[in-house]
Structure formats: structure tokens, C-alpha cells
Amino acid sequence: MDHEQGGPPADVRPPEVVQHWIGGAATPGGSARRADVFDPATGEVARQVVLAEPSDVEAAVAAAAAAFPAWRDTSLTRRTQVLFRFRELLNARAPELAAIITAEHGKVLSDAAGEVARGQEVVEFACGMPHLLKGAFTENASTSVDVHALRQPLGVAAIISPFNFPAMVPMWFFPIAVAAGNAVVLKPSEKDPSASLWLAQLWKEAGLPDGVFNVLQGDKVAVDGLLTHPDVASVSFVGSTPIARYVYETGTAHGKRVQALGGAKNHMVVLPDADLDLAADAAVNAGFGSAGERCMAISAVVAVGGTGDELVSRIADRAGKIRTGDGRRGCDMGPLVTRAHRDKVASYVDAAERDGASVVVDGRQVSPDADGEGFFLGPTLLDRVPTTSSAYTDEIFGPVLLVVREDTYTAAVDLVNANPYGNGVAIFTNDGGAARRFTHEIQVGMVGVNVPVPVPMAYYSFGGWKSSLFGDTHAHGTEGVHFFTRGKVVTSRWSDPSHAGMDLGFPTND
Ligand code: NAD
């Protein structure tokens, strides 16, 4: 496990009240509503964030709509130059952003730095937009008739993001949206809003015209305003499944293009021929990394054919060595994002115990390396969890790893495929044929073979199946480019200077 030291440099501490960013400047907007933003490691209120009223939604969308035509008509060369500058600035100042993430989310600094790096990969992908937007051309499709296809930006793109990746998840979308010529309104999570403002300032330094990238702080009022606003063309949402479903249904009912990524329950299937040390390392890293607050975290380990006892013992051994505490102190695992969330996660451990699971490692007893009353729950390992227990059926989103046991490969696959979620899954085996069969028949969008967190590279697309994604299009990669643009096909005739005469029949080709 990677350790890094140090807190946020004083000059990058977020302001006392985190504001909107509209038309190229921070603004408090017109709302008196505020939400507390915590330092999860100490439990203290660190600052507040403004919560938008409909008039603030109006202002943000108006700024984006006003900036869109000129940005759309800015040459690809110039647009891409802004993307390159943004990349350079982010490379130079990534530690500042990581520190802001740790201060409000709680994840350890090395993990926050990893989040920034994965977001940066999408910026780098979007730097290739001139190539990605190349269309098609057919000369002489019919006599003297040429056909070409192009893709154009949509207009105002709304991005609504969750608390668990305050930088990376917005960056799954906005580099591509901006590079393709759209204007953006980002509505970050109100739990850790400061990263979005820092990114907005970076865009300004990179030379992005005012109004092309806006940040609207808020809650359901802001989301509903964006989903129903006539000038919003598309909505990219990431969050829990019930809200994702709501966003998809409301947004599409209001004529918007919507991609809504939801929750997860990721399984890791361990076959008897697997390297059990590799599998135990993977289960611990993927189950407890970021305190389990990742949509690609492993939640359930499926031990197949008698591997259970040995696997549980090796996972327990590793989990017992994890140091939980303030993410700025070089610990392995930080706190959960809020007290309410910490208590909800702990309640799943209580429920599993009541339902007959054995608590092999109990994170409820943790003594964290931190000052104050932070929102800590230590790594927790539950064995023989009944699949009827809420700990198995619900997304927990915390440092709780469940082990369920199945006798056969087929039973393990059936278990995974019966789950309503389909975000990520992993198989651990040394049998290439079994792995190949698994990748073919598993009903999940992102699959790892001896890789526990199979997050696709930026040039592939990220997205789950079933209740983990509503809409047709996954995030980033070519699907992302497709989402933020729409196709147009142009048929042109530049014939010899002669008049072909009138013909009211349907055009056919010759
Ligand atoms: P959340 O659903 O509570 O919030 C997501 C966004 O929706 C936030 O911006 C929030 O302000 C807004 N929101 C909350 N309640 C709303 C409501 N009633 N109406 C309208 N908008 C509302 O999710 P979260 O707790 O911030 O994030 C964790 C969830 O996100 C987990 O379920 C996790 O699996 C999921 N997630 C999924 C992916 C993925 O790629 N599939 C990635 C990251 C996180």
C-alpha cells in the first residue's frame, strides 16, 4: 500500500462558503440556502456550500447557452490548444486538487492522486478530438453527387456527479464535452463541492472562454432545474440507482439525451485453481480502497468449490494490518464521507450478523489515527453471508467485504447474473478457458480477469449493465464522443454547369 504525507498547502484551502462558478467567475447566486461541508477525518464542519435556487439554474444555463455558439465555431485547433493547456496545468498542480479531495471526501492522499490521474487520462483522450471528430466522405455516391457525414456538438451539456469521485467522475465527461464544442454546467455533489470550483479556475487559466464551463452548486432543486430546462441538451449523471432512474426518466421525458450511471454490487469470483494470495490481496485492495466508496469496489467475494476457509483466513490476515485514520497522515484507509453514511454502513454489519453471517473482522471497533470525532469504520469482513441478507442485496458503499460460498462455477455465475446490478465483476483463476467462458457469459458491463477493479482506460468506455446504467451510451471513449455530438449527413451535387430539369420522383441513385 502506498503512503503519502502532508496536508493541503495553505494557499489552496477552499473558501469558507463554496460558491457557484457562472460566466467565468465565482458567485454566491441568489439563494440563502446552505449545506455544511465536513472534514470527515475530524467530523468538523469545514465550510459551507451554497445550494442553488431555480434562478441560479437559470443563470448558469443562460451563461452556457450564451457561450455555446462562439465556442462551437472556434476551430478545432484552437479548442484543442485549450485542452492541452488544461492538461499541462493539471499535471503541474495535481497535488493541490488531491489535497482538496482528501480534505472533503476523506480518501487518503495517494488515492486522491490516483483519482486525479484517472481523470487526466480523459483530458488526454479529449486532446485527440480532431481525430475523433473526423467524419466520412463518399465521392460520386451517385453521378456528380458526394456524401459526407459529420458530428456537431449538442449545446448545453449538464453533468451531475456523486460525492465519491469529486474530480474524476466530472472528468469522465467534461473534457470530451468541451473539446467537442459544447458548453457545460457541472452540478457536483454538495458533500465535496470544492474540487469543482478548483477545476473551473483551472479552465479559466487554460484560456477557456467564460461561460463554456460553469459550476452550479446544489441539491435536488438544481438537478430538477437542469433536467427540465429547455436549453439543456444533454444530461450525464452518476450516482445511486434510484436517483439515476429518476434522472433518466425525467430528463428523457423533457427531450434530453441522458446517460445515467447508477449503483453497483460487484462480485469477485475465486475459482479453486486461483492464486489465493493474489486473490486475497486483490479482495482487500478492491474492497477497502477508498473505504469501499467506489462504484467499482468489490463487495462480495464468491469463494467457489471449497476455497472459502483458506481465502477468508488470508483476507482476514491482510485486513487486520490496514491502518485506518486521517487520509493526510499516511494511513491506508480514510473515513466515510458523513456520519449518517458511516452509521448506515455499520447498520448493514449489524443486519448481516443478525441474519447469521460471521463477523470475522469487525470494523465497528476501530481506533483510527485521527483527531476529533471522524466518520470512521474499520475494514470489516463478513463470512457466510446469506444472499437474502440486506448486506448482500443492497449496495453498502463502505469498507465491508462479504464472502459467500458456492459449490460450482455455474452456481457462482448464476448468482452474479441474478443480481440486479451489472457494473463490475472479476474472476480469479489460472484456467484461461474458464476465464474466457466467464467473460462471455457474465451479464456485467466491465469484467476483470485476475484484475479486481477493471476500470476501462479513457479510450474505452465506462459503464455497467442492468440497474447500473440507464441510457444507451457509456462514459468516455468513442461512446463519450458520440454522446456529446450528433450526426449530420450532407448530400451535395456539384454537377457540370447544366440543368438537369424537373423531376418530382423520390431521389434514387444512378
Ligand atoms: P447520490 O445518488 O446520492 O447523488 C448523486 C447526485 O445526485 C448528487 O449530485 C446529488 O446532489 C444528486 N441527488 C441526490 N439526491 C437527489 C434527488 N433526490 N433528486 C435529484 N438529485 C439528487 O449518490 P452519491 O451518494 O453522491 O454517490 C454514491 C453513489 O454513486 C453510489 O450508489 C455509487 O455506486 C454511485 N456511483 C456510480 C458510478 C458508476 O459509474 N456507475 C460511479 C460513481 C458512483
Q: Is ligand 1 within 6 A of the CB of residue 160?
A: yes
- For residue 65, the domain's CATH number is 3.40.605.10
Q: Is ligand 1 within 6 A of the CB of residue 31?
A: no
> Would you give the end-to-end CA distance of the chain in angstroms?
67
Q: Same structural domain for residues 146 and 247? A: yes
Q: Same structural domain for residues 254 and 302? A: no
- Determine the Cα–Cα distance for residues 368 and 281; give it in Å rounded to an integer: 22
450: left (phi over 0), alpha (psi -120 to 50) or beta: left
pLDDT tens digits, 298-308: 999 999 999 99
The predicted pLDDT at position 497 comes to: 73
Decide which of 420, 449, 478 is a domain's last residue: 449
- For residue 351, the domain's CATH number is 3.40.309.10
How far is the centre of ligand 1, averaged over its atoms, from the C-alpha of 238 (Å)? 6
Decide which of 400, 421, 449 is a domain's last residue: 449
- Determine the Cα–Cα distance for residues 61 and 214; give it in Å rounded to an integer: 8
The predicted pLDDT at position 2 comes to: 38
**Residue 234, CB-side half-sphere exposure with 13 Å CA sphere:** 27
Q: Same structural domain for residues 222 and 293? A: no
The predicted pLDDT at position 495 comes to: 78
Q: Same structural domain for residues 173 and 226? A: yes
pLDDT tens digits, 242-274: 999 999 999 999 999 999 999 999 999 999 999
Q: Is ligand 1 within 6 A of the CB of residue 479?
A: no
Looking from the CA of residue 172, the nearest atom of ligand 1 is 40
Mutate to test the pocket of ligand 1, among 38, 165, 173, 189 (most ligand atoms within 8 A of CB): 189
- Determine the Cα–Cα distance for residues 500 and 498; give it in Å rounded to an integer: 6
Q: Whose CA is nearest to atom 23 of ligand 1?
A: 239
Cα–Cα separations (whole angstroms), residue 38 to 21, 176, 249, 337: 21, 31, 32, 8
- Residue closest to 480 by CA, chosen among 149, 154, 27, 82: 154
Does residue 7 fall inside a structural domain?
no
Does residue 326 fall inside a structural domain?
yes
CA 323 remoteness from chain centre = 26
Does residue 507 fall inside a structural domain?
no
The predicted pLDDT at position 93 comes to: 98
Cell triple for 431: 484456467
Looking from the CA of residue 165, the nearest atom of ligand 1 is 43
Measured in residues, the chain has a length of 510
- Determine the Cα–Cα distance for residues 491 and 147; give it in Å rounded to an integer: 4
The predicted pLDDT at position 343 comes to: 98
What is the DSSP pairing of strand 380-383 with strand 400-406?
parallel
Cell triple for 184: 457545460
Q: Is ligand 1 within 6 A of the CB of residue 49?
A: no
Looking from the CA of residue 243, the nearest atom of ligand 1 is 2
Residue with cell 436549453: 231
How far is the centre of ligand 1, averaged over its atoms, from the C-alpha of 261 (Å)? 9
Does residue 169 fall inside a structural domain?
yes
Q: Same structural domain for residues 243 and 275? A: no
Q: Is ligand 1 within 6 A of the CB of residue 374?
A: no
DSSP state of 33: -
User: pLDDT under 70 in the chain at which residues?
Assistant: 1-15, 498-500
- Determine the Cα–Cα distance for residues 489 and 255; give it in Å rounded to an integer: 22
What is the DSSP pairing of strand 145-153 with strand 25-27?
unpaired
How far is the centre of ligand 1, averaged over its atoms, from the C-alpha of 234 (Å)? 17
What amino acid occupies position 2? Answer: D
How far is the centre of ligand 1, averaged over its atoms, from the C-alpha of 163 (Å)? 7
Cα–Cα separations (whole angstroms), residue 155 to 71, 135, 170, 310, 470: 10, 19, 17, 55, 21
Any bridge partners for residue 284, and if so which? none
Q: Same structural domain for residues 438 and 420? A: yes
Does residue 460 fall inside a structural domain?
no
Q: Is ligand 1 within 6 A of the CB of residue 242?
A: no
Any bridge partners for residue 485, and if so which? 153
- Residue closest to 359 by CA, chosen among 412, 311, 403: 403
Domain interval for residue 288: 266-449
Does residue 462 fall inside a structural domain?
no
Residue 457 CB: number of other CB atoms within 10 A? 13
Does residue 504 fall inside a structural domain?
no
How far is the centre of ligand 1, averaged over its atoms, from the C-alpha of 262 (Å)? 7
Q: Is ligand 1 within 6 A of the CB of residue 164?
A: yes
Q: Same structural domain for residues 209 and 272? A: no
Q: Whose CA is nearest to atom 35 of ligand 1?
A: 239
Catalytic residue flag (residue 295)? yes
Q: Same structural domain for residues 417 and 271? A: yes
Q: Same structural domain for residues 216 and 273? A: no
Q: Same structural domain for residues 104 and 189? A: yes
Q: Whose CA is nearest to atom 30 of ligand 1?
A: 239
Q: In the chain, how many domains are there?
A: 2
Q: Same structural domain for residues 249 and 350? A: no
Which of 295, 319, 322, 333 does the annotation list as catalytic? Answer: 295
Per DSSP, the residues of 354-405 read: HTT-EEEE-GGG---B-SS-------EEEES--TTSHHHHS---SSEEEEEE
Does residue 455 fall inside a structural domain?
no
Q: Is ligand 1 within 6 A of the CB of residue 259?
A: no
- Residue closest to 36 by CA, chosen among 420, 339, 251, 432: 339
Q: Same structural domain for residues 258 and 278? A: no
- Determine the Cα–Cα distance for residues 181 and 202; give it in Å rounded to an integer: 18
Indicate the Cα dihedral angle 192, 251, 425, 420, nearest 10°: 120
Q: Which helix (H) or strand (E) holds 120?
A: helix 109-126
How far is the centre of ligand 1, averaged over its atoms, from the C-alpha of 240 (Å)? 4
How far is the centre of ligand 1, averaged over its atoms, from the C-alpha of 464 (Å)? 15
Query: What angle, 0 to 180 degrees and rounded to 10, lies between the N-to-C axes of helices 168-179 and 76-105?
Result: 170
- Residue closest to 192 by CA, chosen among 329, 46, 292, 368: 46
Mutate to test the pocket of ligand 1, among 164, 397, 419 (most ligand atoms within 8 A of CB): 164
Residue with cell 493541503: 8
